[in-house]
Structure 1
């Protein structure tokens, strides 16, 4: 039977298409391993060699390797010989010797190789090879006994047998995802307006949120410790809010309630009440917002203007219904404006988050007026933020994501990287690429290197780039500069 690869044909070195040995060089280049085999010497004649093919395995190619083996049942021996930098050897040996077990990945049930973290689809099982494939580990090609091991293996290889098995074709399967991979506690969003931030938040939750069960039939799609910075926290027009499914009139009413010291008659708590008439001695001023104004008037650079809305005695130690989601506010003058940082214990992203932000805008504006300062950015931390997928919640979230993606595709605005921009040039005389780091027209630093990779490492080490789109663009420009430099060097040579 002729060796016919289904996958990675262009990356394989086929020796004898009718051979019965496949050699996996793992992370070693197959040319290096092939050279060591020739030193033994091992027969590498395309007409007579027992070796059908040499190929690498860097880790993620195991599903394709297994499918190539099933489609070529004439391969009776799988030889491992190579350096392993990514546990490829253990994955192969584990699959054939230890088998698979069930686990979860990205919210879906999958199988993994026992004793490893290597996930693999269960369409191919180790038992499918047990009666016709022998796996042999010959170690690394540079080992002192490598030539002896290779020679001994081929010296004791039984005569090649005829093949009576049929080829098997099993398509590659895709994981049925409930989410895409990310660190669920690392999401930071920088946006100009509340609605821009909200759409990005819904996208992050829909794409990266973890499905969690809260007991009973309650389910949420959740991220933790999400940080959102709104650079221009101003009310949007009624038309803009209506387009996003919200009412300016309702938001304005909510803002009014956020500043009211009265305890809502039909609620367990009220933010305005907690801020302005809940804590402290009833005989003295209990208004924390006015206290914040007084503190900032007294010392505009104060770092003590921190207000907690959480009452540990009532909200934690006692058994009560209704607990505030907004738990703290921090006012700080920064670069001439008054910034506000708010922390929420938990809130619903689809409905509550935009309303909460508009309430924060009213609070910030109230304090700003009291100290005659302009408002700066609002930063919102959400310990637990989620979407309720039940009902039409998930479908609404997907529709918002589609709307957001359409805006992204048609958006031609220049969004500068907060870390600055770069001017790339080539000094053909010196034989280097120059990368000038600039910010708002000012020169900050010059990086020099003779390859794009060298400059990339410098930029990464300095955290010089913060925006993904900017990083991709910068990579393209560095590659062009390197190509130009190489062309110049060839001309000079």
Structure 2
């Protein structure tokens, strides 16, 4: 704390997310939720506030915010902007207000660790390493206000700034953060393909792949993320009303989903502090309704490959906070409407399930409109997302590991053994290993292989069928090696596919 003339100046020191905050020299912390922090800062003088920052998630953000406040006891006022639909969906501002208004109690967080659980209908946790009496004192020493608009938030800040400076309520305190260190296996850096029947199933597979082989990199803000580059996720059979597992392990529920779908499908008015919604970008941002254009194009030409929607604005998006979703392509093949969406940057743990369900709703809307106008019977095809940076933030690593442990083994056991590359029948005949390659479903023979060496045969098959599923390829190698052993041992062993090698029984009785 310093005094310049008659004005007392304070210095806010952030232990966590320091590069994501706007700093002042006052005693009021301003939490803007999903409203961009600059929307408030431009109406205030730095001497009127201590810090301005955004709070997106109650489970990830409040724990860090509380630690920063404990390290800055000169902050005596807190203004929480809880104004937009996005704020209400996320619930972070509401949960923070509940901490100060209703307190906390002993509980267990999502990963099973003991913690302080905020008394709120919205889950929010604080690490148990912070003593209860310290949290209680923090609640008692900070005056909190909820604002419903930017103007009201600025009024609160100015009112607090006019008061005489208050003494710090205690000493600066810092508490260690638990860290989850991932174990990384070697793997491809670029180009990954994951497929599942439902969004929930596909999501678990995505999290497993990133946590298994993803590269750890700095985020460009604060902290780290684990990342795969160019991850293609394909969802084949998501039901019309969406599948939510029971119990629900997804990071969203149905009530949140309905609000989120509106942000994808519907236009929205320009609002100070809210940069855009995906629906706004699709419906009106460029002076035209791109969703309507795509529907009209496909009604006119059902085979068109030009049903494209773009969300990237080259005149603005080189600056701060460009959209993560950049490009959508819709295609109809064999009366099946698929949708492919490209994300330049994708939070796969917290955001991808909502992204995928919102896009699925858009896909269904386009299908239904085409049927209504064109009377053309269309099926919903796959939803494909291409995430150019598919990542999990470090503050979600522990949750991701728990998800993998609890869900991945079960999902892996339920996998479909059908390989789009086809199937293979292996027999030993006429002193040769014979292999028939058949199409999936109909079983039409499309190729023959023969020889005595398992290695040469699987090399030929691999060259002709580079898209074989990994487990299928390993199975073929095993079966071909069994066939080679049976062949090399002459008549001592009998080879039958999918069965153990049997010793041939020769009847030596004299007749």
Q: TM-score range by the shorter chain?
A: 0.5 to 0.7
- Root-mean-square deviation (CA), in Å? 2.2
Q: Of residues 248, 268, 276 in structure 2, which corresponds to 1:262?
A: 268
User: 2:260 aligns to what SS in structure 1?
Assistant: helix
How far does the alpha carbon of each residue in 1:95-145 deviate from its partner, in whole angstroms, 9 at most, with x for none? Answer: xxxxxxxxxxxxxxxxxxxxxxxxxxxxxxxxxxxxxxxxxxxxxxxxxxx
User: 1:424 aligns to what SS in structure 2?
Assistant: strand
Give 1:244-393 correspondences, 5 Å limit.
244-263=250-269, 265=271, 267-280=274-287, 286-316=288-318, 319=319, 321-372=320-371, 373-390=378-395, 393=396
Q: Distance in 2 between matches of 1:214 and 1:243?
A: 26
User: 1:256 aligns to what SS in structure 2?
Assistant: helix
How far does the alpha carbon of each residue in 1:58-90 deviate from its partner, in whole angstroms, 9 at most, with x for none? Answer: xxxxxxxxxxxxxxxxxxxxxxxxxxxxxxxxx
Q: Of residues 402, 418, 430 in structure 2, which corresponds to 1:399?
A: 402
Number of equivalences: 304
User: 2:323 aligns to what SS in structure 1?
Assistant: coil
Q: Distance in 2 between matches of 1:363 and 1:408?
A: 27
Shift of 1:370: 1.5
With structure 1 as the length reference, what TM-score do the two structures score? 0.58
User: 2:362 aligns to what SS in structure 1?
Assistant: helix
Q: Distance in 1 between matches of 2:386 and 2:414?
A: 29
Shift of 1:490: 7.2
Judging changes above 3 Å, is the alpha-carbon distance between structure 1 residues 240 and 361 closer, same or farther for their aligned structure 2 residues? farther
Q: Is the 8 A contact 1:342 1:379 kept in 2?
A: yes
Shift of 1:216: 5.8
Shift of 1:278: 1.3
User: 1:419 aligns to what SS in structure 2?
Assistant: coil
Q: Distance in 1 between matches of 2:358 and 2:415?
A: 29
Max Rg structure: 1
182-191 or 325-334, larger mean C-alpha shift: 182-191
Q: Specify every segment of 5 or more residues in structure 1 that has no aligned partner in the other structure, as ranges.
A: 1-175, 281-285
Q: Is the 8 A contact 1:263 1:269 kept in 2?
A: no
Give 1:467-486 correspondences, 5 Å limit.
467-486=469-488
With structure 2 as the length reference, what TM-score do the two structures score? 0.56
Q: Distance in 1 between matches of 2:300 and 2:259?
A: 32
Q: Which runs of 4+ in 1 moved over 4 A?
A: 489-492
How far does the alpha carbon of each residue in 1:442-461 deviate from its partner, in whole angstroms, 9 at most, with x for none? Answer: 22211111111111111111
Q: Is the 8 A contact 1:269 1:322 kept in 2?
A: no
How far does the alpha carbon of each residue in 1:466-488 deviate from its partner, in whole angstroms, 9 at most, with x for none? Answer: 21111111111111111222233
Give 1:65-464 correspondences, 5 Å limit.
178-215=183-220, 217-234=222-239, 235-240=241-246, 242-263=248-269, 265=271, 267-280=274-287, 286-316=288-318, 319=319, 321-372=320-371, 373-390=378-395, 393-408=396-411, 411=413, 414-427=416-429, 429=430, 431-439=431-439, 440=441, 441-463=443-465
How far does the alpha carbon of each residue in 1:295-330 deviate from its partner, in whole angstroms, 9 at most, with x for none? Answer: 0011111111111110010112xx4x4311100000
Q: Specify every segment of 5 or more residues in structure 2 that has no aligned partner in the other structure, as ranges.
A: 1-180, 372-377, 494-503, 505-511
Q: Distance in 2 between matches of 1:185 and 1:216?
A: 23
User: 1:181 aligns to what SS in structure 2?
Assistant: coil
Judging changes above 3 Å, is the alpha-carbon distance between structure 1 residues 350 and 413 closer, same or farther for their aligned structure 2 residues? closer
Judging changes above 3 Å, is the alpha-carbon distance between structure 1 residues 383 and 245 closer, same or farther for their aligned structure 2 residues? closer
Shift of 1:178: 4.5
Q: Distance in 2 between matches of 1:241 and 1:358?
A: 18
User: 1:252 aligns to what SS in structure 2?
Assistant: helix
Judging changes above 3 Å, is the alpha-carbon distance between structure 1 residues 197 and 415 closer, same or farther for their aligned structure 2 residues? same
Shift of 1:215: 4.2
Judging changes above 3 Å, is the alpha-carbon distance between structure 1 residues 217 and 314 closer, same or farther for their aligned structure 2 residues? closer
User: 1:228 aligns to what SS in structure 2?
Assistant: strand
